[in-house]
Structure 1
Amino acid sequence: MTPPIAPPEVPKPHAKPKRPIAEEHLDSWFQTVSLSYLLSHNTDALRRQDVSAGYFVAEQAGGNLVPALKPWRERLRDKGFSFEFTYKGEGMGNVAGGLSKGMDYTHEVRASMLFDLGRLTDWRPLAGWYLHGIVMNREGRQVGWDHVGERNVLLTEVWSIHGPAAARLADLYLEKSFLNNRININIGRIAITHTYATSVLLCTFMTMCSAPMAIREPAGWSVYPKTSWGGTLRIRPTRDLTLRTGIYRIGPKPQDNTGWAWGSETATGIQTPIELTWEPFIGPKKLPGHYKIGYGHDTSPYPDLIGTIPAAYAGSVPRHADKARDTFYIEADQMVYRASGEHQMAGGYVLAGFVHNTPSNSTFANEFYVGTSLLGLVPGRPRDRVGIMYSYYQLSPRLTYGQELRQSAGMSMGAYVNAPQTHSAILEAYYGIPVTPGLVVTPEFEYVMRPGETSVIPNAVLAGLKVIAAL
């Protein structure tokens, strides 16, 4: 006999609004499950605590450093304004191999804001509308560039391909749910990787946040703090399936490093991502899993990565015409044991993924990763988290071919290129320690194989520390 299905939750009239990092709660269209029916007939109430909130890992801090601010926060929240101030600092040093020994430091200071427009204005038509905003400062240098000789894969999270900015405007978008929380939309300036191909688990790793590098590198995927004009629609057809799709205007990433100069941006095309997520709960302990399949089509014209063809080969080696770029990805994580609670982060996970881009015009043709994120392995430290990740990167075969042609002709293969580039791999490990509510300290280790995607530079060993603090 199938147990009765629990009715959907009814929000309390004055319930605490969602935090700036979270998506609006989404109810299913049909009170049934899809593939999960083959695994378990149990109800799945735990799904209401979703692990797929997105990029922001400051929540690992688990509270605030200044609890005296709580009454003030609550008064502001009741009037329609919520906020977070966070600091994230990363110091990574190359201790062996690479180009040279040395250390670089980066940091991010971020203010995240959430405006409940209905409460702020007390105007009924705006009830349920939220405005999200993020302003940040980023400074520092990239250890991969300075000391390792790796310029394609970022070895720290905070230093992005967009460089430093004193006060950069990142996300600024509206959010609203309709039809009794069965449709959720957001529209405005959004980093696409806040919504697609990401998870809290991925963002516990420096090299994988906010999405795998093969997703972040193509210009068609705007990566935090770079944003694009556009929006996403979310629905949950059944209790274990979530569908996301949207449309975004795409332009070159180096434009407008501040995030404020919207008028200076140019558009090259549109990106139309779509992602389907299956979220089963397996076994009597209801171990959650998240299985994603996604696709993105960028209509922008991208050139053949073969680059300059030497005159000696001009008649025999054709250049491909500019064309659009496609991205396909699959990602999966599965809890394998439960510890320290009933929520979806209370346990150990295994995770893996694969990304494929159009090979002729994408720097990364393929990426594969596999790893673990384990909680409470050390006796007496139930909230410490250990992560290990292996990631493999294959560059575009057309890029490699063009470099081989120029090398044979005695020409430069390109800036910072010392041999035809083919592939690289990184082994990353961390140990996250919640020191006190609002503060997490994480020792980090990375072993970079084939820096620069060649065998010329020795493999590099890096060690460092990441600190996340929430005011």
Structure 2
Amino acid sequence: MKAICSHFQRLAVLVPLVVCAAGGVSQQALAGQSDKGTSASPLGIPPGPPTAYPDSGVPEGYFFNLRPYGKPVGDYLADKGIYLTGRTLQQGIGLTNGGLRTGTIFEGFNLFGVDLDMGKIAGIKGGSFHFQMNELSGLPFTNRTGSFYVYNRAFALQAGVRLNEFSYEQNFGGLVDIRAGRVPVGTEFDTERVYCEFIYAMCALPAGYAFTKGYPAYDTASWAGIAQVKLPQHFYFHAGIFADQPNLATIGHWGWPGEDWSTDKIRGATIPVQIGYRTTFKDDPYPKSYAVGGYYDTGDYVDPIDNAAGQNRLTAGGAPRLDHGKSGIWLQAEQAVWRPDMATNRALTLFAGGNIQTSGEANITNAYFAGLSFNGPFAGRPYDTVNFMGEAINMSGAYTNFVDTTLNLERMPGNYNPHEAFIELNYGIALAPGMVLKPNFEYVWNPDQVNTRPVSTLHHDTIIGVAFSAFLPETLGMPRLGGGG
């Protein structure tokens, strides 16, 4: 317990240091980071409209527009300092070939919350309070595909109701922003806007890395503190500390003070940092984003293969060895490279990145990905998107040894292939502002078989699906705290 408390004491030291460091920075605003409302969970933040949302009429490219119906209510509440947030994501996913068992599943994710502008409510300039709950129904796809790391979008190990955020945020002059409380892993680390255009594995954290780090999946929240600093010339710096509570993704609960809030459930702390450069269409004809970051996780976790004596526990027996600490780095880049016309925000954007494990005994050694996203592929459909990406995931030698030993003991022929890879292609059909229907296709090579009974005959997955998504503020014309909507 003392060790855990010391991690959060370090955060208390970090925050004033960050604030002091920002005292001399330029007033240059970091474009794309101006939303001072809930900015944590990527599941609640839209990838971003190619152009401004219309408040009336039905412009070319949409089939209907619901914004006029919610705008009066949203404006009335915003005048009082109250901003409603929410989102629904409904997915039908079918494994048509390969895998462990073909068939279909349905998954439904619903999120609702409120942002409170404490400046309007209590006279605290730059202060805001955030509350979000979500509900997840359906089943994860792992038991059919055999892939734990190429997961469907709103991933958790079981359905349930969860607290997604309960935090206080304080902004200091647009240069420093600090948020603390029950906070989900979010848009501050190891992610880019374009990742959430995809249905599988990419939104928030590239495949698998939400589970090699100690903190929980992004549809729940643990005790955390985050500091964000805007630096001159579109640069920024982010740092944070998250209590390790991986079990939060495995249980369904209301998330109120109780067992899951107890400090005796904390198993360490994950400390991520990131520095980057980002522009938008407001200040750059070809927007770009580049970032590098890393993390250190102090927590304990089960070794992939060894027992307490350092032997292969599948053949020698004994309890699993408990490993301590792990770290990794990530690099990512996003760049608009072509615009069919400069009068709109229609653009072709390329992106790439990688995650590399630098210490510890995680199941994954490294992963690399790249892809493209085309906003407005046709002049008559300026709000549609075409998205394509591919990723290669390399499993660790320890985990490979674990699977090969299991196959040998089960007298199954063949060896485990530790090089998992997948591609995804989807097309986003803009139905209305903030509302998208997205048919999608995915193909997986060499599913990782983590958390499943390994077999030697699993070589691929062919997946087709369709996802429906709507964001409450954007669809119903309600403003977001800090702008947008």
Identify the residue that residue 347 of structure 1 maps to in structure 2. Answer: 347
Shift of 1:81: 0.3
Report the 3-state secondary structure (helix = DSSP H, G, I; strand = E; otherwise coil) of the residue aligned with 1:75. helix
- Structure 2 distance, partners of 1:394, 1:82, is 43
Q: Deviations over 1:298-353 (max 9, x none)?
A: 111233211455589759xxx9762201021111111112357789x752210111
Shift of 1:92: 1.1
Indicate yes or no: 2:437 matched with 1:444. no
- Root-mean-square deviation (Å): 3.3
Tell me: higher relative CO, structure 1 or 2? Use CA pairs within 8 A at least 6 residues apart: 2
- 8 Å CA contact 2:278–2:289 kept in 1: the answer is yes
Shift of 1:355: 0.6
Shift of 1:405: 3.7
Report the 3-state secondary structure (helix = DSSP H, G, I; strand = E; otherwise coil) of the residue aligned with 1:402. helix
- Structure 2 distance, partners of 1:412, 1:30, is 64
Identify the residue that residue 299 of structure 1 maps to in structure 2. Answer: 298
Counterparts in 2 of 1:450 and 1:117: CA distance versus 1, 3 Å: same
- 8 Å CA contact 2:140–2:157 kept in 1: the answer is no
Counterparts in 2 of 1:367 and 1:279: CA distance versus 1, 3 Å: same
Shift of 1:245: 0.6
Unaligned runs of 5+ in 1: 1-26, 33-43
Indicate yes or no: 2:268 matched with 1:264. no
Indicate yes or no: 2:166 matched with 1:172. yes
Q: Deviations over 1:138-162 (max 9, x none)?
A: 101233423x2323421x202x134
Shift of 1:109: 1.3
Q: Deviations over 1:103-146 (max 9, x none)?
A: 1111111113101123223xx3x232101111111101233423
Identify the residue that residue 31 of structure 2 maps to in structure 1. Answer: 48
- Structure 2 distance, partners of 1:312, 1:48, is 52
Identify the residue that residue 429 of structure 1 maps to in structure 2. Answer: 425
- 8 Å CA contact 2:217–2:246 kept in 1: the answer is no
Report the 3-state secondary structure (helix = DSSP H, G, I; strand = E; otherwise coil) of the residue aligned with 1:332. strand
Shift of 1:286: 2.9
Please give the residue correspondences for 1:143-154 in structure 2 after superposition, counting only pairs within 5 Å: 143-146=141-144, 148-154=145-151
Shift of 1:77: 0.6
Unaligned runs of 5+ in 2: 1-21, 55-64, 450-454, 473-485
- 8 Å CA contact 1:348–1:372 kept in 2: the answer is yes
| Matched positions, count | 418
Identify the residue that residue 127 of structure 1 maps to in structure 2. Answer: 125
- Structure 2 distance, partners of 1:28, 1:468, is 41
- Structure 2 distance, partners of 1:305, 1:256, is 23
- 8 Å CA contact 1:305–1:360 kept in 2: the answer is no
Shift of 1:210: 1.8
Shift of 1:256: 5.2
Match for 1:441: what amino acid?
L
- 8 Å CA contact 2:100–2:143 kept in 1: the answer is no
Match for 2:220: what amino acid?
K
Report the 3-state secondary structure (helix = DSSP H, G, I; strand = E; otherwise coil) of the residue aligned with 1:404. helix
Identify the residue that residue 193 of structure 2 maps to in structure 1. Answer: 200
Report the 3-state secondary structure (helix = DSSP H, G, I; strand = E; otherwise coil) of the residue aligned with 2:214. coil
Indicate yes or no: 2:379 matched with 1:396. no
Q: Percent identity at matched positions?
A: 23
Shift of 1:262: 4.1
Shift of 1:390: 0.3
Identify the residue that residue 356 of structure 2 maps to in structure 1. Answer: 356
Please give the residue correspondences for 1:63-74 in structure 2 after superposition, counting only pairs within 5 Å: 65=66, 67-74=68-75
Report the 3-state secondary structure (helix = DSSP H, G, I; strand = E; otherwise coil) of the residue aligned with 1:268. coil
Identify the residue that residue 138 of structure 1 maps to in structure 2. Answer: 136
Identify the residue that residue 182 of structure 1 maps to in structure 2. Answer: 175
Match for 2:276: what amino acid?
T
- 8 Å CA contact 1:114–1:131 kept in 2: the answer is yes
Identify the residue that residue 7 of structure 1 maps to in structure 2. Answer: none
Match for 1:269: what amino acid?
G
- 8 Å CA contact 2:416–2:456 kept in 1: the answer is no
Report the 3-state secondary structure (helix = DSSP H, G, I; strand = E; otherwise coil) of the residue aligned with 1:304. strand
- 8 Å CA contact 1:241–1:279 kept in 2: the answer is yes
Report the 3-state secondary structure (helix = DSSP H, G, I; strand = E; otherwise coil) of the residue aligned with 2:216. coil
- 8 Å CA contact 2:414–2:456 kept in 1: the answer is no
Q: TM-score, normalised by structure 2?
A: 0.77
- 8 Å CA contact 2:346–2:377 kept in 1: the answer is no
- Structure 2 distance, partners of 1:339, 1:452, is 40
Q: Deviations over 1:18-61 (max 9, x none)?
A: xxxxxxxxx995449xxxxxxxxxxx98x534499661344657
Match for 1:428: what amino acid?
E
- Structure 1 distance, partners of 2:447, 2:351, is 24
Identify the residue that residue 14 of structure 2 maps to in structure 1. Answer: none
Moved more, 426-435 or 220-229: 220-229
Please give the residue correspondences for 1:406-421 in structure 2 after superposition, counting only pairs within 5 Å: 406-408=406-408, 410=409, 420=416
Match for 2:225: what amino acid?
G
- 8 Å CA contact 1:28–1:238 kept in 2: the answer is no
Moved more, 79-88 or 212-221: 212-221
Shift of 1:375: 1.7
- 8 Å CA contact 1:162–1:226 kept in 2: the answer is no
Moved more, 373-382 or 238-247: 373-382
Report the 3-state secondary structure (helix = DSSP H, G, I; strand = E; otherwise coil) of the residue aligned with 1:96. strand
